[in-house]
Amino acid sequence: MKKAKVENKIDLTFELNGQPYHLTVPPTYRLVDILRTDLQLTGTKISCEIGRCGACSVLLNGKVVNSCLVMAYQIQLSTIETIEHVSHQSLHPIQQAFLEEGGLQCGYCTPGMIIALKDLLEQNQQPTDEEVFEHLSGNLCRCTGYTGIIRAVQRYREVVNKKEEIQ
């Protein structure tokens, strides 16, 4: 008699982009699998799958993580923000600065870069170029380099400074 393979699944409850979710998934699923396969949130990219490139970056409980390294059970009762939520009403100021200063990459790296910079700029609105490079050290881009990204952060800083002067 041949036995059917029974795959265990786990129940997860978490908040994603401001909405509550409850899913049942295989325990071997990673956060990136849940986002892209189960929830069709394809803004988070899959690239190296070993946590070196940052293309799959999301905010987990307010901190940037590589979603390819986060197992399903680790998101239980957590809060997750993806690139889709960063611009849910309008472009985030760092996204606008990317457009204006040529910070955009091929589209594979850009979402992870935006998530990483959002994380940095929420902690420090006036980072130095060195702090930007350090915070982006987990995001590898082979497309265009980082000059446009640094200009975008400089533009962001200028906008923040002008707003502070007006207030």
86-99 per-position pLDDT tens digit: 988 889 999 999 99
- Amino acid identity for residue 35 in this structure: L
Give Cβ neighbours of residue 95 (< 8 Å, ≥ 6 apart).
86, 87, 114
Extract the tokens encoding 30.
């990673």
Give the pLDDT mean for 51-60.
Answer: 95
pLDDT given at position 145: 80
- Considering the entire predicted model, what is its pTM? 0.89
Give the pLDDT mean for 68-87.
Answer: 96
Q: Is the pLDDT of residue 5 over 70?
A: no
Q: Is the pLDDT of residue 21 over 90?
A: yes
Q: What distance in Å separates the CA atoms of residue 104 and residue 59, rounded to the nearest whole number?
A: 20
Q: Is the pLDDT of residue 142 over 80?
A: no
DSSP assigned state of 71: B
Q: What distance in Å separates the CA atoms of residue 9 and residue 139, rounded to the nearest whole number?
A: 32
Going by C-alpha positions, the residue among 51, 92, 85, 84 that lies closest to residue 68 is 51
Give Cβ neighbours of residue 167 (< 8 Å, ≥ 6 apart).
none
Going by C-alpha positions, the residue among 43, 160, 149, 148 that lies closest to residue 93 is 160
Q: Is the pLDDT of residue 6 over 70?
A: no
Contact 47, 106 (CB under 8 A): no
Extract the tokens encoding 151.
């200009």
pLDDT given at position 86: 93
Q: What distances in angstroms separate CA 19 from CA 14, 28, 57, 78, 131, one per listed residue? A: 8, 24, 19, 12, 32
What mean pLDDT is reported for the chain? 91
Extract the tokens encoding 95.
């996204």
3-class SS at 114?
Answer: helix
Residue 160 or residue 21, greater confidence: 21
Read off φ and ψ for residue 29, nearest 5 degrees. Answer: -65, 145
3-class SS at 122?
Answer: helix
Q: Which of 74-78, 96-100, 102-106, 128-132 has the lowest average pLDDT?
A: 102-106
